[in-house]
Structure 1
Amino acid sequence: MLSFSSKALLLAATCGIAVAAQPAVAQAMSPEGQVATPVTDQQQTAAAPGVAAESTEADLASGDIVVTAQKRSERLQDVPLAVSVISGEALSSTGAPGLDGAVALVPALNFQKSGTTLNQSLFLRGVGTTTFSIAGEPSVSSVVDGVVFARTGEAFSDLVDIERMEVLRGPQGTLFGKNASAGVVNIITKQPTRDFGGYVEGSYFTGGDEARVRGALNIPISDTLLTRFTGFYSRFDGNIRNDAFGGRRVNGYEHFGGRVQLKWMPSDATTIAIIADYHKNDDDCCAEVIGTGPLNGAGVGITSPISAVLPTPRGDETRRINQNLITRTQEEGYGASVQIDTELGTQTVTSITAYREFSNTEIRDGDFLAAPYVGFNQLHDVGPQTGDTFTQELRLTSPSRQFLSYVVGLYYSRAASERTFGRSVVNCNAATAPTTLIPCGSAGAPATTNPFGVATFGSIFQNIAAFSQFTANFTDRFRFIGGVRYTTDQLNVWHSRATTLAGPGVNANFDQGVFDRYNALLAGGATPAAAQTGAVAASNGIAWRGKTTNDNWSGKASLQFDVSDDVVAYGGWTRGYKGPAFNVFYNLNSNGTNVIAPETSDSYEIGLKNTLFDGALTLNLAAFYAKYDNFQANNPDLVAGVVVTRFTNAGEVSTRGVEADIALRLMDDLSISGGVAYTDAKVDQFFQAPGAPVTAIIPAGTSLPFAPKWKGSLGMDYRLRTGGAFDVFLGAQGNYQSKQLALFSPDAVQRRLGTIDGYGLVNLSAGVGDQDDRFRLTFQVRNLFDQSYAAAIQNGGPANAYRYQIPRDADRYYGVTGRVNF
């Protein structure tokens, strides 16, 4: 069998004959200010980040939306794949500083909020991956300026000075780096231009004293050397009150950072782009409110003394906590990339080299109380994590105006992460649960113990791929798009946990000695439970290590037919792939060291893209079906009395549905845009996890988490030209989604209590600005009807109560934004 390094050499030698594909069906969301990105003169002459410039860009008409979903700049309506395009201005208008703001504008996109950005996830068409494992990867890949981010959390920082965001639905791995089995969020920042200028923008929002300042400065050093500098600062006190700290607001943030871009054109044939960025986030986020009272296993309320110290539970309207540790995340990230585009005859050679570092420290109150009590332990977690990623992409792109056009290339990625996770417990449990609340350390309380455990664990993902895509233009109207990608993955993991004192919430030691003794006991006939218990004494302080490799062929085949100049029909099949994983986290035991097999999918899609009434109306329709084998997912589990998640190959799941996007320009200054998606994502067959009971199987037909069946959005932008010094700008945006499952559990009661009700939001804006757009002042009201909702629901609160994540937009608030362009 070839070694990993041998495979790399083989791929390099065979790149020239590799063939792969990944077109993209695009769906516009607005022809002007709301979502769409029209082509500009600058875009017609400069390459977008991550793609090679083409002479055919000059043929694009002003007002056309340009996307790079197929690694070349193309008109959105010509791309045979479901793609939603959101402008940077539309992202800013959502009021959310990061990626979660896009969820309101793209019906197929959903987002799981968590206590730290490390555990936040994106879902497309009902499919995504949520895991606490350091050795699991997302199903929806995040790409910024051509660089694939190894961790979804890295892309959740503030999105500032963004040109556009392209949301590609369905498997996209063949062209966009690695492991994008459900889709890609492709972010393109604004690029340096030959004009001196910039902007400064400031915003203030009520409901927590939220303030933001951001700006950019474009400085052309010469005609061939261009620079752009971007900076931002933002802060928010939070939307939840913590009674343990005198009613202090929590779940806020303080962020700052910047980006430097340099574009050098040493010749007419070569462009070199260098981008460096940095951000630092200090979030006291995200504490979960206790949204229900104590419950029994049937979901029926019970009497518990802990109710005396919990804020009154009000479901998703709860806005208070009582926790003596402020749950928060401290994060720092930076990176740099170098992209070189050079013409080689009629071809374009592109090289993108990138390096990133990322650190994230999670501090978490895991007992959700202000003090330890008899029967209710105090559980506090601190988990610093660091990581670095190196990626290299080399690509050859042919001209598009020929019978056989193609993109071929090589890709390499190495992503390393390491975490040290400490759990401290204060315990004074009694043999019999008391009927009154007794603080630990008080008279009559049992003796207090302080179990403590610390684990150090990590992972190294290495990924190498050869890819290509070709389009055979049989006629001016009919073409075949196909391709294939060969991927080889290697994953190395390690884990070592030491416990100073055994006790509830703190697992015993686990390392190589425990693992070896566990296997020896199993071989001797012991049950897994007995082997686990008997192996603990064999701890030797040497980290357990695991390794897995995998090879995969993935690709696509589709047909595209231009019914007319304004109507494009397409249909095809795509094979998706996500590499192997391990469930490596603090509570790892010997029985959880199995390899999680790669996830694969077969996706089918047909679509019709219509541009009608001389471009005034865009109507795009798509229908899809995708089946996922060895679906990687979390299952709730109980370890040492703490609710955790078991990351496994859950089984077979599928998603099917229809999507429609519409963009209507009624007049030059009035545009309406919207979209609707029906998605039926569900379990087909669930596997029994290794060592798990039969009762842990999620029934067939169960909805996948964060997959509402119906979701839609509608927006309007209008500019009233007064003929005087100032114009008036009006905007409205609404979105709705039906109920969705947040707690993916085999227990029907937990699924019922972990379901987020359907909700709708309406946002309004009004502003004034001069005719030349040198300045604008905009007023907003977010969540006009004060619709409360939860972003996530989990079990495992005190006395089996349920915990709710309450997002910023679950309350009505107001804002004002001023912007000066120069």
Structure 2
Amino acid sequence: MKAIDKGSLAGAATIALAAMVAAPAPAQAQAGQAALPEQRDDTTVGTEIIVTAQKREERLQDVPLSVSVVGGSLVEQQGGINLENAQYLVPTLNFRKSGTSINQSLFLRGVGTSTFSIAGEPSVSTVVDGVVFSRAGEAFSDLVDIERIEVLRGPQGTLFGKNASAGVISIVSRRPGDTLGGYVDAGYFFGEGNEYRVRAALDLPLGAGAGLRLTGFVSDYDGNLFNEAPGVSRRVNGYDRWGVRGLAVIEPTPDLSITVIADYRRAKDDCCAEAIGTVPANLAAQVLPAPQGDATRRVRQNLVTATNEESYGASVQIDATLGTNTVTSITSWRRYDNEEIRDGDWLPRPFANAGLNELHDVGPQTGKTFTQELRLTSPQGGLLEYVGGLFYSWADTERTFTRDVVLCTPAQPVLTACDAPGIVVTRPSGTATFGSTFKNLAAFARVTLNITDQFRLLGGLRFTHDQLDVFHIRRTALAGPGIQPNFDQGVFDRYQQLVAAGVAPNIAQGQAVAASNGVPFTAKTTNDNWSGMAGAQFDLTPDNVLYATWTRGYKGPAFNIFFNLASTGTNVIEPETVDSYEAGIKNSFLDGRLVLNLSGYYARYDNFQANNPDVVAGVVVTRFTNAGRISTRGAELDLIFAPTRDLSLSGGIAYTDARVDQFRQPAGNVTGVIPPGTRLAYAPEWKASLAGDWRLRTGGAVDFGVNAIASWQSEQISQFDANPAVRAATTIDGYALVDLSLAVIDARDRFRLAFQVRNLFDQSFAAAITSGGPGGSYRYIIPREADRYFGVTGRVSF
């Protein structure tokens, strides 16, 4: 593993902070900055920030919970593509990058869910324009023409539902303008692969009280790694994406508003190849590129790991005034199709040597989701303020996964290709079809009792009913490495009979396979849950607010449904619950130009749902289990400073201590018990960001702008493993990133031309390190941000 010079990191950060005139910050949403016409940030009034963290519009400083806000203009200037980039702007947000997008996940305050199971849900919920996305992979679509991202830290189950036990990412799109207009934005990025990007938006007034905003984008990126395998010989880890969205707002009367949103997106990503970053302890070292830890940029894989996605959907939101209350209905339907293509041997070809078989996976998946929310919201300012309602969700997913193996015998003492004389080639193959259906029905209420003008009591309650149905069937023509025998209802029933008879069945040796009946295995579980919150809020002054809350969070039951499912893994994964305690103070000074928000928290999770490494049929996989009890505690500081309309500075720092309290070893697990006190994966102890923006007004035809963003984090574990040597080998070193942008801006905001450099000091790092490579080596996923690259972007407004 490449060692990063910590001194150079500190020096880079110091230089950046000294030189920067700061960027529109994570919690600022472009406060105080004169934005381009098409970059309206209606979240701010002066330096005030308006959010909907409690499903009503409120000042950020009045919301009794920790919230970070990232303005859409900052995302665009930062060059961000999706939520992966947002982790560099929000100190408590972390991202687990995986071989394909469907297996990626978000973490808040050190807590998240990493699972390959089709019947598990994330701990961090993603909500787009009021619609909950049920699958983690769908949340990582392109961020184009958004108004803001709200990051709600800590359990948010009372208002947002069961898959928000660690927090919520709420994305809000820009609304139509009142006049005909829009923008076209084009960019070219180079260095470690070329990228072309075009984005555009158009506002179309449709008459009195009606407007439509159309958005489109297209992007093409070569990738940051080079695949040297014969027949490939090109860059990989890139993408080819395009999409469109329409957002219409119709207000026929002052008491009625209808918002209709429809979108469509296609993506072909050849990402993400896993580079072998350490020397294999077998003959694979002779056929792989020289490993360089997190500096490895070359692979030799005869199958290009890729993800093909198609997603589309529509939603209708109706807001109507009923007396003094507002009734809101949000109806949505979405389709999300994902095809995973994965090289699972990381070699250029199969060989007749131990551990050098070929293993290729292809797994197309389809998913459909329907949601309906109905809620009633009171006006603000009375004795009792409330938000209450009903929520229903139906999410159906099905996957067909095929694993193809090339096995060459007899094993040879020297490196031998499979086409050598005397080598016998067999091609084991297995296909499994499996699926899940989540049904969720909930009733919720959130109340604020205004005892006095300064003191408020807070409360909330949610009842949730969950039903989860799953099925699985695997038909295997020939057993081989990474492929288990048949699995279906007959196999499972026979396994149960043997267990009841006191016999320990060894399914890998076929004891239960003879009972295969070709009927899919099915299972079902239901669960009812009461969760909620309580707290108090006190205004020391109108600009200094104290709050303290207790929150009970919840995530529903799950199953570990994946390709290599066996009878021993068919148990229900029990619901995850959390008790979270938070206290904070929100401060505004200098007539709101300076904001300092501080919060501290402690949360304990029981029946924590986690992915732990395991070995199935000789292949390292991950087992989704109830890992036991974990806890996280820490403190967070958010800063906003906007001394003038043309200069803004903001940032944040977070201390996170997320650890195992008591680990529960699943039956048959081969990896052992993770000891108490072990840090959780993707939970760096320290993380900070600082950003700013300065516009120099010349009084002439053009102005100049300087934008800078710096982020830093301490080391973090990548693989949650019982083996301390594996945890050490998969620890990602701390690193710092600095991005700079210089812009020429039309004084009337009709155009903007910016020159950018990302990762100014060229700090190399890995996004993920995983065991299980050839010969006991380690696999590295290298993100684009791990190399310095440059860009030129131009925007024309009309």
TM over 0.5: yes
Give how far 1:444 is off.
4.0
Deviations 1:53-107 (A, max 9, x none): xxxx99x954310000001101111111000000011112222311111100000
Deviations 1:636-683 (A, max 9, x none): 001111110000000000000000011112333111111000000010
Give how far 1:435 is off.
3.2
C-alpha distance in 1, partners of 2:173/2:98? 26
One of 749, 752, 758 as aligned partner of 1:773 = 749
Give how far 1:505 is off.
1.5
One of 326, 335, 350 as aligned partner of 1:348 = 326
> Any idea what SS the aligned residue of 2:478 has?
coil
Counterpart in 2 of 1:466? 443
> Any idea what SS the aligned residue of 1:520 has?
helix
Where in structure 2 are the equivalents of 1:631-710 lying within 5 Å?
631-693=608-670, 695-710=671-686
- Residue identity opposite 1:413 in structure 2: S
Counterpart in 1 of 2:194? 209
The answer to whether the 8 A contact 2:25-2:89 is kept is no
Counterpart in 1 of 2:162? 178
C-alpha distance in 1, partners of 2:332/2:247? 14
Give how far 1:714 is off.
0.7
Give how far 1:808 is off.
0.4
The answer to whether the 8 A contact 1:484-1:553 is kept is yes
Q: Does 1:727 align with 2:727?
A: no
One of 549, 569, 589 as aligned partner of 1:592 = 569
> Any idea what SS the aligned residue of 2:176 has?
coil
C-alpha distance in 2, partners of 1:104/1:61? 26
Give how far 1:36 is off.
2.0
Counterpart in 2 of 1:385? 365
Give how far 1:38 is off.
6.5
Give how far 1:528 is off.
4.2
Task: State the structure with bigger RCO (CA 8 A, min sep 6), 1 or 2.
Answer: 2
Counterpart in 1 of 2:717? 741
> Any idea what SS the aligned residue of 1:77 has?
helix
Counterpart in 2 of 1:529? 506
Deviations 1:393-448 (A, max 9, x none): 00000001100010110000000000000000000143xx5331111121243x11
One of 240, 246, 250 as aligned partner of 1:264 = 250
Q: Does 1:410 align with 2:390?
A: yes
The answer to whether the 8 A contact 1:391-1:412 is kept is yes
Deviations 1:221-277 (A, max 9, x none): 112221110000001000000001453000000000010111111211100110000
C-alpha distance in 2, partners of 1:528/1:258? 54
The answer to whether the 8 A contact 1:518-1:532 is kept is no
C-alpha distance in 1, partners of 2:664/2:162? 26
C-alpha distance in 1, partners of 2:232/2:446? 60
C-alpha distance in 1, partners of 2:645/2:492? 69
> Any idea what SS the aligned residue of 1:534 has?
coil
The answer to whether the 8 A contact 2:24-2:650 is kept is no
Larger CA deviation: 614-623 vs 386-395: 614-623
Counterpart in 1 of 2:3? none
Deviations 1:762-797 (A, max 9, x none): 111100011121110011000011100000011111
The answer to whether the 8 A contact 1:261-1:275 is kept is yes
| Identical amino acids, percent of aligned pairs | 60
The answer to whether the 8 A contact 2:434-2:471 is kept is yes
C-alpha distance in 2, partners of 1:528/1:651? 27
Where in structure 2 are the equivalents of 1:311-326 lying within 5 Å?
311-326=289-304
Q: Does 1:243 align with 2:228?
A: yes
One of 740, 747, 758 as aligned partner of 1:782 = 758
Where in structure 2 are the equivalents of 1:52-131 lying within 5 Å?
61-131=45-115
The answer to whether the 8 A contact 2:458-2:534 is kept is yes
Counterpart in 2 of 1:561? 538
The answer to whether the 8 A contact 1:38-1:64 is kept is no
> Any idea what SS the aligned residue of 2:496 has?
helix
C-alpha distance in 2, partners of 1:651/1:331? 35
> Any idea what SS the aligned residue of 1:193 has?
coil
Deviations 1:720-775 (A, max 9, x none): 00111100000111110000000111111111111101100111110001112111
- Residue identity opposite 1:763 in structure 2: D
C-alpha distance in 2, partners of 1:396/1:249? 53
Give how far 1:531 is off.
9.1
> Any idea what SS the aligned residue of 2:510 has?
helix
Q: Structure 1 residues 39, 747: CA separation in 2 closer, same or farther (over 3 Å shift)?
A: closer
> Any idea what SS the aligned residue of 1:481 has?
strand
Where in structure 2 are the equivalents of 1:189-588 lying within 5 Å?
189-207=173-191, 208-244=193-229, 245=231, 247-294=233-280, 302=281, 304-374=282-352, 375=354, 376-430=356-410, 434-445=412-423, 447-529=424-506, 533-588=510-565
C-alpha distance in 1, partners of 2:577/2:178? 45
One of 764, 786, 790 as aligned partner of 1:810 = 786
Give how far 1:684 is off.
0.4
Q: Does 1:616 align with 2:600?
A: no
C-alpha distance in 2, partners of 1:657/1:193? 41
C-alpha distance in 2, partners of 1:429/1:479? 74
> Any idea what SS the aligned residue of 2:139 has?
helix
C-alpha distance in 2, partners of 1:473/1:435? 79
C-alpha distance in 2, partners of 1:461/1:492? 7
TM-score (norm 1): 0.92
Deviations 1:336-367 (A, max 9, x none): 00000000000100000000000000001000
> Any idea what SS the aligned residue of 1:723 has?
coil
C-alpha distance in 1, partners of 2:396/2:676? 36
- Residue identity opposite 1:200 in structure 2: V
C-alpha distance in 1, partners of 2:325/2:195? 49
- Residue identity opposite 1:288 in structure 2: E
Give how far 1:533 is off.
3.3
> Any idea what SS the aligned residue of 1:351 has?
strand
The answer to whether the 8 A contact 1:305-1:435 is kept is no
One of 144, 151, 158 as aligned partner of 1:160 = 144
C-alpha distance in 1, partners of 2:80/2:25? 17
Counterpart in 2 of 1:18? none
Counterpart in 1 of 2:9? none
Counterpart in 2 of 1:25? none
The answer to whether the 8 A contact 2:654-2:686 is kept is yes
C-alpha distance in 2, partners of 1:92/1:558? 37
C-alpha distance in 2, partners of 1:137/1:32? 33
Deviations 1:148-197 (A, max 9, x none): 00012112111100000000000001111332000000000001122221
C-alpha distance in 1, partners of 2:114/2:197? 30
Q: Structure 1 residues 622, 336: CA separation in 2 closer, same or farther (over 3 Å shift)?
A: same
**Structure 1 unaligned spans of 5+:** 1-29, 41-47, 50-56, 295-301
Counterpart in 1 of 2:18? none
C-alpha distance in 1, partners of 2:443/2:23? 36
C-alpha distance in 1, partners of 2:580/2:412? 55
- Residue identity opposite 1:378 in structure 2: E
- Residue identity opposite 1:257 in structure 2: G
RMSD after superposition: 1.9
C-alpha distance in 1, partners of 2:376/2:590? 38
TM-score (norm 2): 0.94
Counterpart in 2 of 1:150? 134
- Residue identity opposite 1:496 in structure 2: I
- Residue identity opposite 2:304 in structure 1: I
Counterpart in 1 of 2:19? none
